[in-house]
């Protein structure tokens, strides 16, 4: 068995489709099919059942999958240990994060890391917090930034290190009044305070046209739950957008949006207004596995995450009132 064959087998098993697996691996589909056929010939067993909707593992494939993942993980560990001997002149880090963090905290972390370690390859996976934890436990990620609300859930094999507590704010187009709530749309003149309020309650927000995220976003679920708990129905102007589109629509004055405070950093076309009664917050955590130690590159990435969080929320910064850094214990890898 060759590592390339095992990698192809794992990708097809995970994705359930030859064409999409070939795209992920940057292979032509015939090449991928030949690798799987050669592996099946070496093992003397069929690994997949083909069907109109894709492929499924046979009994032999089910047995091989965890073995293949361990072998691929061991090979990656061997490469990482050799990279450590090179003093971080090369290496690889796979970091996962939700889209709301990729446009804020992660961008700053990667910029600082890349400047210090330009020879280390970076791979970013965007997704929901739950899917990122699953990917971490399946050895598809080295580290993940995940979002929780309330008490941190217990995830076997995974440690969640709280980094900060962050307010959700209402963003609107800078230099323009907030899109009018219902009574303004009926032709009544708004007061100066209504044009540029320092704060908005959830009830006031419900009257203002909003650009709503796709329902797959953790953030959308949290805001929908807050409106429902208060017996409110929000006014939706545009629904189903992804992060970049939401911010662009808001800049164009199509409505307001509820986003984490860090999203507004270095975005002069956006203005933020605090959301009160109730105040909505979220906790950003660094997730890492407890059963394996981090590679030198992953440990360095952890340090850059911690340093960037401390810098962004330092006293005197724009975020200091909206973000609270969680005290962290010191110790190996931290």
Has residue 122 got a pLDDT over 50?
yes
Q: How far apart are the first and last CA of the chain?
A: 38
pLDDT band, residue 36 (cuts 50/70/90): very high
Average pLDDT, the chain: 86
**Residue boundaries of the structural domains of the chain:** 3-70, 83-163+282-325, 167-281
Topology adopted by domain 3-70? Arc Repressor Mutant, subunit A (1.10.10)
Tokens representing 294 are: 């981090």
Give the mean pLDDT of 148-174.
85
Fold match between domain 83-163+282-325 and domain 167-281: yes
Does domain 83-163+282-325 match CATH 1.10.10.10?
A: no
pLDDT band, residue 183 (cuts 50/70/90): very low
Has residue 293 got a pLDDT over 90?
no
What is the pTM assigned to this prediction? 0.69
Question: In 166-323, which residue ranges form alpha helices assigned H by DSSP?
Answer: 182-185, 192-195, 202-206, 218-229, 243-251, 296-312
pLDDT of residue 330: 44
pLDDT of residue 182: 44
Topology adopted by domain 167-281? D-Maltodextrin-Binding Protein; domain 2 (3.40.190)
How far apart CA 208 and CA 20 sit, in angstroms, is 42
Helix (H) or strand (E) holding 4: helix 3-15
CA 7 to chain centre: 24
pLDDT of residue 86: 59
């Amino acid at each position: 068995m060759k590592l390339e064959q095992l990698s192809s087998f794992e990708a097809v098993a995970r994705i359930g489709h030859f064409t999409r697996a070939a795209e992920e691996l940057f292979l032509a589909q015939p090449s991928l099919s030949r690798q799987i056929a050669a592996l099946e010939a070496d093992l003397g067993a069929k690994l997949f059942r083909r069907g109109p909707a894709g492929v499924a593992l046979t009994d032999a494939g089910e047995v091989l999958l965890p073995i293949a993942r361990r072998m691929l993980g061991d090979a990656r560990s061997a490469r990482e240990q050799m990279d450590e001997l090179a003093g971080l002149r090369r290496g690889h880090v796979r970091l996962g994060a939700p889209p709301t963090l990729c446009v804020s905290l992660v961008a700053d972390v990667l910029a600082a890391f890349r400047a210090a370690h330009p020879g280390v390859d970076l791979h970013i996976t965007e997704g929901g917090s739950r899917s990122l934890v699953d990917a971490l436990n399946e050895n598809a990620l080295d580290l993940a930034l995940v979002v929780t609300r309330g008490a941190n859930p217990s995830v076997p094999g995974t440690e969640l290190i709280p980094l900060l507590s962050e307010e959700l704010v209402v963003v609107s187009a800078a230099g323009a009044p907030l899109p009018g709530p219902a009574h303004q749309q009926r032709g009544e003149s708004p007061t100066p305070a209504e044009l540029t309020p320092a704060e908005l309650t959830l009830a006031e927000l419900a009257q203002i046209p909003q650009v709503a995220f796709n329902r797959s976003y953790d953030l959308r679920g949290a805001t929908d739950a807050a409106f429902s708990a208060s017996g409110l129905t929000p006014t939706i102007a545009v629904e189903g957008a992804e992060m970049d589109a939401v911010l662009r629509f808001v800049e164009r004055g199509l409505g307001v949006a509820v986003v984490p405070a860090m999203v507004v950093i270095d975005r002069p076309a956006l203005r933020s207004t605090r959301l009160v009664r109730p105040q909505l917050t979220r906790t950003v955590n660094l997730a890492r596995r407890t059963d394996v130690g981090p590679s030198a590159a992953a440990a360095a990435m952890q340090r850059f995450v911690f340093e960037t969080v401390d810098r962004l929320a330092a006293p005197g910064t724009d975020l200091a009132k909206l973000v609270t850094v969680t005290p962290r214990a010191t110790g190996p890898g931290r």
